[in-house]
Amino acid sequence: MGKAVFTSDEHLYLQVADGIEKMIAGDVLRIGDKLPSVRVLSEEYGISMGTAFQAYYHLEGKGLIESRPKSGYYVRFTHRRFPAVPQMIRHEPVPAEVTVQEMIKQVLHRITAEDMTNFALAAPAIELLPTAKLNKSVVHALRNGKDHCIGYEDTQGNPELRKQIAKLAFNWGGRIAPDEVVVTSGCMEAIGLSLRAVTVPGDTVAVESPAYFGIYQIIECLGLKVVEIPSDPETGPELASLEKAIDKLGIRAVILVPNFNNPAGSCMPDENKKRLVEIIQQHQIPLIEDDIYGELYFGRHRPKTCKYYDTQGLLIHCSSLSKSLAPGYRIGWILPGRFLDKVSALKQMYTISSPTLTQVAVAHFLSIGRYEYHLKNLRKALHTQSLRYIQGILQHFPDDTRISRPQGGFVLWVELNAAIDTYELCTEALKHHISIAPGRIFSIGSNYSNYLRIGYGSPWNEKVESGLKTLGSIIRKMVARSAIK
């Protein structure tokens, strides 16, 4: 290992750790290889012993290396051992009436029960959230908010909160004025209001496949039809398919999760985002972008949004703090572009305004820099958890299992042997107090019947590992049974 030149203000230990991680990924260091001692590492890199130790500790947290008592550190896992990613399912885009799935109800039914090992949830464990600091902001709001936050808030949302949300847009290069923000009750209200603003019942909406089941539900509820666009598990929706659907099927709106799609984990490359915006501008079709996972990236930079490339106000950007700060605060927002008046009017009609207190509290929390600080920790924790869960699945599931490689967000998209019906797996797992989300709820067709979504929002522990082990053994039994048939 040669000496490295450290270029940025980033924590030294992270740079050292990244260097080692790259060597593991590049097969320079292989599984079982012994790593230099902490002392040698500190000398080689010209860093303190403490920093060297921190770097190893970090890699150990990610499950990449392990310490063996009285022996030192060894490589435990390489990215080359990552399983194959799930395959894209191709199908002809056909408009269809969505039907609400009884399945979703069953999956959600006991989702918050305490005795569950919950892989069905796509949300952070409460212990990863800055509860105490947020409480302080609530007390601050009670003391300092206008009328102690008891009165109606502005329909578009608390002005200070809108300012903070506008500032968050800097992170992806957005230049948004506070007046261009509409605060909502979480991201689902944002998506619902956006869809209502740009469609009328009977219209057809294009959705990537797989997609979050809540999006199908609301589309059905609004009397809209849906066209599913095949989506690559790594790069997102196939733009050629989208264009074909637009030409053929009279699409009135497109709705996508460009960054860390739920469930596939895909992240559209910048050039795809740019091209997508060109397509929707060419056809003057509004694009609703759900960016709820955008801040939860594992790489060095926040991915851009489609909104960034929009020059015509056709982009309706939706997001929230439910996945990153406080699910129960129900704070989301819309940057509605040219549909601002329509969206504001709908917000006023449906709920008059969002609650004042939580808005003022969160505005304070953001304004003192607490959110950025918290996000740094949360990203690190989620990245580590994603790697741990992948390793766990790899260890306990059959060898032909394929797993997505998300670079952000909360979920793994897992493809099993084609003989497995994951809804059956889900039913069986519930008997063992384990919940998963079966693949079929992420599409309106009968696609993804051998897929499942595993949320890794909860820190890795024995209960989690034991849950994956149990799932693995159920799957093996199901495979064996199917072989007999």
Q: Residue numbers of the site for its own copies (CB under 8 A)?
A: 100, 108, 112, 123, 126, 129, 131-132, 134-135, 138-139, 142, 147-154, 185-186, 188-189, 192, 196, 200-201, 214, 217-218, 221, 223, 326-330, 345-346, 348-358
Q: Are strands 332-335 and 315-320 parallel, antiparallel or unpaired?
A: antiparallel
Q: In whole angstroms, how close is the CB of 213 to its own copies at the nearest point?
A: 10
Q: In whole angstroms, how close is the CB of 73 to its own copies at the nearest point?
A: 37
Closer CB to its own copies, 154 or 428, in the complex: 154
**Nearest one of 53, 51, 55, 47 to 22, comparing CA atoms:** 55
Q: Which secondary-structure segment (H or E) carries 287?
A: strand 287-290
Closer CB to its own copies, 43 or 154, in the complex: 154
* Phi/psi-derived region of residue 70, left when phi > 0, alpha when psi is between -120 and 50, beta in every other case: left
Backbone phi and psi for residue 217, each to the nearest 5 degrees, phi listed first: -60, -45
Closer CB to its own copies, 153 or 234, in the complex: 153
Closer CB to its own copies, 240 or 349, in the complex: 349
The alpha carbon of 82 is separated from its chain's Cα centroid by a whole number of angstroms, namely 20
Q: In whole angstroms, how close is the CB of 240 to its own copies at the nearest point?
A: 32
Backbone phi and psi for residue 320, each to the nearest 5 degrees, phi listed first: -165, 175
Backbone phi and psi for residue 126, each to the nearest 5 degrees, phi listed first: -55, -35
Closer CB to its own copies, 188 or 426, in the complex: 188
**3-state DSSP call for residue 230?**
strand
Q: In whole angstroms, how close is the CB of 331 to its own copies at the nearest point?
A: 8
The alpha carbon of 374 is separated from its chain's Cα centroid by a whole number of angstroms, namely 17
Closer CB to its own copies, 40 or 221, in the complex: 221
How far apart, in whole angstroms, are the C-alpha atoms of residue 358 and residue 423? 38
How far apart, in whole angstroms, are the C-alpha atoms of residue 295 and residue 275? 22
| b/e burial code for range 462-483 (CB count within 10 A of at least 16 → b) | eebbebbebbbebbeebeeeee
The alpha carbon of 460 is separated from its chain's Cα centroid by a whole number of angstroms, namely 18
**Nearest one of 83, 85, 71 to 32, comparing CA atoms:** 71
* Phi/psi-derived region of residue 259, left when phi > 0, alpha when psi is between -120 and 50, beta in every other case: beta
Q: In whole angstroms, how close is the CB of 178 to its own copies at the nearest point?
A: 17
Closer CB to its own copies, 134 or 474, in the complex: 134
* The two three-digit tokens of residue 423, written as one number: 């809804």
Q: In whole angstroms, how close is the CB of 162 to its own copies at the nearest point?
A: 16
Closer CB to its own copies, 192 or 455, in the complex: 192
How far apart, in whole angstroms, are the C-alpha atoms of residue 455 and residue 119? 5
**Nearest one of 361, 351, 302, 296 to 328, comparing CA atoms:** 361
Q: In whole angstroms, how close is the CB of 248 to its own copies at the nearest point?
A: 26
Q: In whole angstroms, how close is the CB of 155 to its own copies at the nearest point?
A: 9
Q: In whole angstroms, how close is the CB of 151 to its own copies at the nearest point?
A: 5
Q: In whole angstroms, how close is the CB of 68 to its own copies at the nearest point?
A: 38
Closer CB to its own copies, 40 or 200, in the complex: 200
208 forms bridges with which residues in the sheet? 229
How far apart, in whole angstroms, are the C-alpha atoms of residue 455 and residue 3? 39
* The two three-digit tokens of residue 275, written as one number: 């091209």
Q: In whole angstroms, how close is the CB of 464 to its own copies at the nearest point?
A: 19
How far apart, in whole angstroms, are the C-alpha atoms of residue 258 and residue 94? 22
Closer CB to its own copies, 56 or 212, in the complex: 212
Closer CB to its own copies, 35 or 292, in the complex: 292
